[in-house]
């Protein structure tokens, strides 16, 4: 991998090119819709293919294909498609409207966004997938925004924050499993350590959303009629998630139930139901294709030595236990920014983090927690990550409109830093 063990900084060029093109077009035109993300990613992929002429083009194609074939990438793409089917079916059946109206009938509109964040926390920690949580809740976020007058970007930020809470903490999350396995600690020990660190961030996030609601003083517009049967698909998804049922099983069950409810309540005819499922799946095509292209870019960046460069850069600058913890945090964050996948980032940086923790006296549970937290922090804030791209795609916003309201990922990182600096050292 790469040309030498220390890696090559120039290998990170495709990621830099994407950011310059995507951000540059938005700042120059004042419209972040002017440059479609798919075009910016394709240009970055072109740069990756042009780079490193010592590697044959046919070999680059094989490397990219291997990256796309990674289990995490395939699983994520399948979740997108199944979640699209559920979203299309439940929306056509009137489930979104009824769920939003039921929630606003029970809770004051001022706490709706904080409630959305909490629901996201519960679903994500139960399902273990941030992407699945975002695809399940984004349509509800749109409905709450329309009914209450809250900014859609605020509602989307609440969903992304809630999704990242569980992605970081859930015992069935890929990130948690990868962190525990690479650092050699027990799941329960990592959870206890991690939970204590992120709890202040979660509480602060809830307070922020409550404060925004208090200041805004919005009034609910329109009627709040709902049909409890149309709410059932969401209840099944929520209960199934809390019970720890596989995300695919949950979403397929929710889709089937949505179709049954839609036909039974007259929302659509029997012959139309697969049209709605198809429309939902097609709505996820963009994010699925983008995920495939990002996987190609990451595979080439890794092969050229980009990841090795980051690992070596951080490893050489560590000193002492606190320095070791800061190094692990920086390692997880930077590798995630380069891979746009927090599970992959943990798998790549885990062995180096283990060396750091052994050399500088960082406990395995602490190391696992830092790896998981800071990779999840990055994943909840980078505009080219699957989470923000999915939220943007499903709400009609751009990632840059949502990022300012992604309070939880940012506060999670800040809380992690505070705990690093206040920890008593021997």
Task: Quote the pLDDT of residue 353.
Answer: 87
pLDDT greater than 80 at residue 180 = yes
**Residue carrying the six token digits 């984004």:** 138
Range with lowest mean pLDDT among 193-202, 234-243, 390-399: 234-243
Mean pLDDT of 144-168: 91
pLDDT for 103: 74
Q: Which two tokens stand for residue 221?
A: 């517009």
C-alpha span between 339 and 206 (Å, rounded): 30
- Model pLDDT, residue 3: 45
Higher pLDDT: 317 or 366? It is 366
Structural element, H or E, at residue 252: helix 247-264
Query: Which tokens is 324 given?
Result: 């070791």
The 3-class SS string of 68-86 reads HCCHHHHHHHHHHHHHHHH
Under a CB-based contact definition with an 8 Å cutoff, are residues 254 and 234 in contact?
A: yes
Other C-beta atoms closer than 10 Å to the C-beta of 217 total: 9
- Whether 213 shows a pLDDT value over 90: the answer reads no
Are 96 and 136 in contact, with CB atoms under 8 Å apart? no
pLDDT digits (tens, 9 = 90+) for 31-86: 766 788 789 889 999 999 999 998 999 999 999 999 899 887 888 788 878 878 88
> Exposure pattern of 349-361 as b/e (b: 16+ CB <10 Å)?
bbebbbebbeebe
Q: What is the mean pLDDT of residues 197-226?
A: 81
**Residues ≥6 apart with Cβ < 8 Å to 384:** 18, 19, 22, 37, 41, 294, 340, 399
What pLDDT score does 222 carry? 63
Q: Is the pLDDT of residue 139 over 70?
A: yes
The top-scoring range by mean pLDDT among 13-22, 212-221, 365-374 is 365-374
The overall average pLDDT reported for the chain is: 86
Q: Would you give the distance in Å from CA 342 to the centre of its chain? A: 9
Distance CA 100, CA 122 (A): 17
Q: What is the pLDDT of residues 263-313, one digit of tens each?
A: 999 989 998 999 999 998 998 788 788 889 988 998 898 899 888 888 788
Of residues 216 and 338, which shows the higher confidence score? 338
Cα radius of gyration rounded to whole Å, the chain: 22
Nearest to 24 by CA among 12, 13, 36, 32: 32
In angstroms, rounded to a whole number, what is the distance separating the alpha carbons of residues 48 and 387? 23
Give residue 219's pLDDT: 62
* Percentage of the chain lying above the pLDDT 70 cut: 94
Specify the pLDDT at position 65.
Answer: 95
pLDDT value at residue 2 = 43
N-terminal to C-terminal alpha carbon distance within the chain: 39
Confidence of residue 425 (pLDDT cuts 50, 70, 90): low
Query: Taking Cα atoms as reference points, which of 130, 134, 138 lies closest to residue 99?
Result: 138
241-276 pLDDT, tens digit per residue, is 767 777 788 889 989 999 999 999 998 999 899 999
Rounded Cα gap, residues 39 and 18, in angstroms: 9
The string of pLDDT tens digits covering residues 89-130 is 988 998 877 877 787 777 777 888 998 999 889 888 867 788
CA proximity to 142, closest of 408, 399, 396? 396
State the burial class of residue 188 (Cβ atoms within 10 Å of its Cβ: 0-12, 13-18, 19+). Answer: exposed
């Amino acid at each position: 991998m790469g040309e030498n063990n220390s890696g090559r900084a120039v290998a990170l060029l495709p990621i830099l090119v994407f950011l310059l093109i995507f951000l540059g077009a938005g700042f120059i035109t004042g419209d972040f819709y002017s440059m479609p993300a798919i075009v910016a990613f394709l240009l970055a992929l072109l740069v990756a293919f042009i780079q490193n002429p010592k590697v044959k083009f046919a070999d680059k194609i094989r490397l990219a294909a291997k990256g796309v074939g990674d289990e995490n990438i395939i699983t994520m793409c399948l979740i997108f498609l199944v979640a699209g089917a559920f979203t299309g079916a439940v929306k056509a059946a009137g489930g979104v409207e009824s769920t939003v109206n039921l929630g606003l009938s029970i809770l004051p509109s001022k706490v709706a966004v904080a409630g959305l964040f909490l629901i996201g926390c519960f679903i994500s920690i139960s399902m273990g997938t941030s992407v699945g949580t975002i695809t399940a809740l984004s349509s509800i976020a749109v409905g709450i925004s329309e009914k209450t007058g809250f900014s859609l970007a605020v509602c989307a930020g609440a969903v992304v924050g809630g999704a990242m809470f569980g992605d970081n903490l859930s015992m069935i999350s890929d990130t948690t499993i990868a962190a525990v396995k690479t650092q050699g600690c027990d799941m329960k020990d990592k959870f206890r350590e991690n939970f204590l660190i992120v709890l202040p961030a979660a509480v602060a996030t809830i307070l922020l959303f409550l404060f925004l609601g208090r200041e805004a003083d919005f009034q609910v517009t329109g009627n709040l009629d709902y049909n409890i049967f149309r709410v059932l698909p969401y209840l099944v998804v929520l209960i199934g998630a809390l019970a720890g049922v596989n995300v695919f099983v949950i979403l397929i069950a929710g889709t089937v139930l949505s179709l049954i409810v839609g036909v039974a309540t007259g929302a659509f005819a029997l012959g139309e139901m697969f049209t709605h499922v198809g429309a939902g799946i097609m709505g996820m095509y963009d994010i699925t294709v983008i995920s495939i292209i990002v996987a190609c870019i990451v595979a080439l960046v890794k092969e050229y030595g980009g990841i090795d460069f980051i690992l070596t850069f951080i490893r050489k600058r560590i000193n002492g236990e606190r320095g070791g913890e800061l190094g692990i945090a920086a390692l997880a964050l930077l590798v995630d920014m380069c891979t746009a996948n927090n599970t992959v980032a943990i798998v790549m940086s885990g062995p180096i983090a283990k060396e750091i923790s052994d050399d500088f006296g960082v406990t395995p549970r602490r190391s696992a927690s830092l790896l998981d937290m800071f990779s999840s922090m990055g994943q909840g804030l980078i505009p080219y990550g699957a989470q923000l791209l999915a939220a943007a795609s499903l709400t009609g916003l751009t990632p840059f409109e949502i990022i300012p309201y992604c309070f939880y990922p940012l506060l999670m990182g800040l809380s992690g830093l505070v705990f690093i600096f206040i920890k008593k050292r021997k």
